[in-house]
Structure 1
Amino acid sequence: MTENTNHWTKTEMHIYILLLCANADSNATDEEINLIKSKCNKDTFDKIYKEFLGDNEEAGLDKIEDNVHFHQYSHLELAKLKKEMRQIFLSDNKLTMMEENLDQILDNIIY
């Protein structure tokens, strides 16, 4: 993100990360999307989903990195986020190599 770009709220960043997790295997299921929708209001989801669809993975990871540095996250918030990421990854009862790789990349960015 550039200096002129607005930072996301914590909720918006959370939703973006979960969308990235859902799409890690290039197949975001209805179950994954509905689970993510349940974490926020419709307007927030629609805004972030539209932005997500316009980004490639590299741009998305850059945005996440910028926003992680902008917000102060507690250990509890990070643990909750990690748990929800795993829930998305495992919603189809398997963890693909692409999902494992994204999980490691996000761990490096978030922690």
Structure 2
Amino acid sequence: MDRDGRPGWLSTMGFAFLSFNCGMAIYRSIHDPHAVAFVVVAYVALILLFRCLHLLERDAPGRRRGRGIKAAVWGLATILTFMFSYKVAAVVPLWGQALVWVMATLTTVAGFYAFFVARHEEP
């Protein structure tokens, strides 16, 4: 981020790359409504997640608003984790599916613990 709050060139290029790839995925899957919905929901969730992370970084420590932003970040990360886990689990054997879902669940629980339960010491 620049000092005035605008994204830098690297962030802009990353956003352009993500947008182009999502557009191409939608174009290639135009006759599969489930695939298009997956791409659109993942794209919107990623954009919202990046925005919430930006707000969380700019928020002063200890402010009440930070808790709501943390909940949004955790919720969006959970949605994305389970969406991509669903796609991965569809193409692996049964033991792999179990491993994917266990890892997704542990990641979600660990994120909840880190955001809402653990007390962070301020230096």
TM-score (normalizing by structure 1): 0.31
Higher relative contact order (CA 8 A, sep 6+): 1
User: Would you tell me which structure has more helix in proportion to its own residues?
Assistant: 2
